[in-house]
Structure 1
Amino acid sequence: MTSSTQATVDVYVMISSYNDPKGARTTTESLSNQLYEKHEIFHVNNNSTNKTGDVIQGYAESITAYHPARDSLAELRSKAQRIGRGRAQMRHYHSEIGDYTHPLHPTRFLPPSPWRLRDRYSGTSVSASEMIGFYALEYGLKLTQSANALREAVAIRWGE
């Protein structure tokens, strides 16, 4: 078939990335270079903890970058539980990849830095009481992550 007789095809691609900036870049560049007349790329950042989100945002002019929002306490708690389990699994199965602290390391249970939170919301109209609420929420989510990392580590250890 020659290019003049080819049917017009609308192509929609959804990419999901988690902690893979190199793969996100390679995949997005490859898909962006396709010759379809009408194509759209949706790149979803699944809560990466490294530079993957920055890589995806770098393509924001040519693709639709999406980061799912958590808008309820139950969704935030569920996310924190998954992160905690994932950290324990990464520590156990892929300890050579990153610097994973032990589930009982004291830093996992210390409250977050109030200065980091202040810097995050500086220049916004967040009141002091809202800031305290965000601080309590962040600390609660950190403890949820730590508890689930410990729970998963015990399950891995005793499940073998």
Structure 2
Amino acid sequence: MSLQSNSIDEDVSIVTPVYNDPDGIKITLESLLTQSTTHDYRITVIDNDSTDRTPDVVRSYDHDRLEIAHETEIQSSYAARNTGIRNTSTEILAFVDADMTVPEDWLESALQPFQKREADYMGCNVELTLPDDPTLAARYDHHTGFPIEQYIERQHFAPTCCLFVRREVFEDVGLFDHRLISGGDKEFGNRVHEAGYDMYFAEDVTMYHPTRNSLEALVKKDLRVGRGLCQLQRYHPDRYGTPGVPPRPSGVKSPGRDLPRGDRLAFGALSRALTGVRGLGYYREYVTGDRDPELEDGIPQLEQ
């Protein structure tokens, strides 16, 4: 199904959630505020109840394109994004994570598929950037990367760090499931796909995301992903299966054959270890997690 509104109008909202990341939000805002585009756009930063100077950093940018909103009731990036959506009124919404950067022509290029009626839901290409002296963890993260095209084609979703969506899609299928600690991008994308909307991969629209540079950061991520896999089953068993039986690992995690032998061995061992970490996160959530009575409203809706 493709939406048939007459035009996209020129207004676009860029929604960026942030929590305790003053340096990340700074580099992202400096990137977003220098867009070279014919389109009028606004940036809505949603502070998810930060306890450091993050809100002050956002407010230090006295710019008419920028506003800050707050999500203080629910500690969740998906709840923050939902707050951002509700605080905007534009036909197109773009989602960018704090710590990402984009080239000056990013927005102009990203809107072309919407103008051509090729997309209702679109994921951009994401390149991971390495530090000057990359660690093993950074090189592994860079190699495994963000296979956005495979996510869209095979799993029918794009990560929320590089996502464009028409407002009418949210009005039809609902907002992000704020109960999920991870996997909310997949759950929302699957809803969009099931509703029959046009999903598109913008291969030539590139965004940049720094690598995770420590083993601790990789472990933290995979524990969260494992918890999210269990929560997907808990809240959406018809789609993802019964809690207690984790789904098979997905995504590109195997080391490529073009790598030096030492890297192949190291990356292979790290991949197996992180798969175990993900399983640990899953079973921790299965044993200790439960439905939160305060979050039993299900998928939040966007009023038209």
Shorter-chain TM-score: which interval?
Answer: 0.5 to 0.7
TM-score, normalization by structure 1 = 0.54
For 1:33, which of 115, 131, 147 is the aligned residue?
115
Unpaired runs of 5+ residues, structure 1, are: 1-7, 18-27, 35-40, 109-115
1:52 aligns with 2:157: yes
Q: Does 1:76 align with 2:212?
A: no
In structure 1, what is the equivalent of residue 95 of structure 2?
Answer: 15
For residues 78-131 of structure 1, what are the alpha-carbon distances to aligned partners after superposition, in whole Å with 9 as ceiling and x for unaligned? 1101100101111111111124673579x78xxxxxxx83xx512x2x222221
RMSD: 4.3
Q: Which moved more, 1:69-78 or 1:142-151?
A: 69-78
Q: Distance in 2 between matches of 1:101 and 1:135?
A: 28
What percentage of aligned pairs have identical amino acids?
A: 20
Q: 1:81-120 counterparts in 2 under 5 A?
A: 81-99=223-241, 102-103=244-245, 117=254, 120=255
Q: Which residue of 2 aligns with 1:4?
A: none
Aligned length: 122
Higher helix share: 1
The match for 1:137 among 255, 260, 270 is 270
Question: Quick check: which has more Rg, 1 or 2?
Answer: 1
Alignment CA distance shift 1:52-1:42 (3 Å) = closer
Aligned position for 1:146:
279
Q: Distance between the aligned counterparts of 1:16 and 1:98, measured in 2?
A: 27
Q: 2:111 & 2:241 partners in 1: Cα distance?
A: 30
Instruction: Give the structure with the higher percent strand.
Output: 2
Distance 1:64 1:128, change over 3 A: closer
> 2:94 is matched by which residue type in structure 1?
M
Q: Which amino acid aligns with 1:87?
A: L
Greater alpha carbon shift after TM alignment, 68-77 vs 135-144: 68-77
Q: Is the 8 A contact 1:91 1:100 kept in 2?
A: yes
Partner SS, residue 289 of structure 2: helix
Report the AA paired with residue 239 of structure 2: I
- Runs of 5+ unmatched residues, structure 2: 1-37, 43-92, 98-109, 117-121, 127-145, 160-198, 294-304
Amino acid at match of 1:52: F
TM-score, normalised to structure 2, is 0.31
Task: String of CA shifts for 1:17-48, please: whole Å, max 9, x gaps.
Answer: 9xxxxxxxxxx7798339xxxxxx99587x77
Partner of 1:121: 256
Q: How far apart are residue 9 of structure 1 and its match? A: 6.0
Highest relative contact order (Cα 8 Å, sep 6+), 1 or 2? 1
Contact 2:227–2:281 (8 Å) recurs in 1: yes
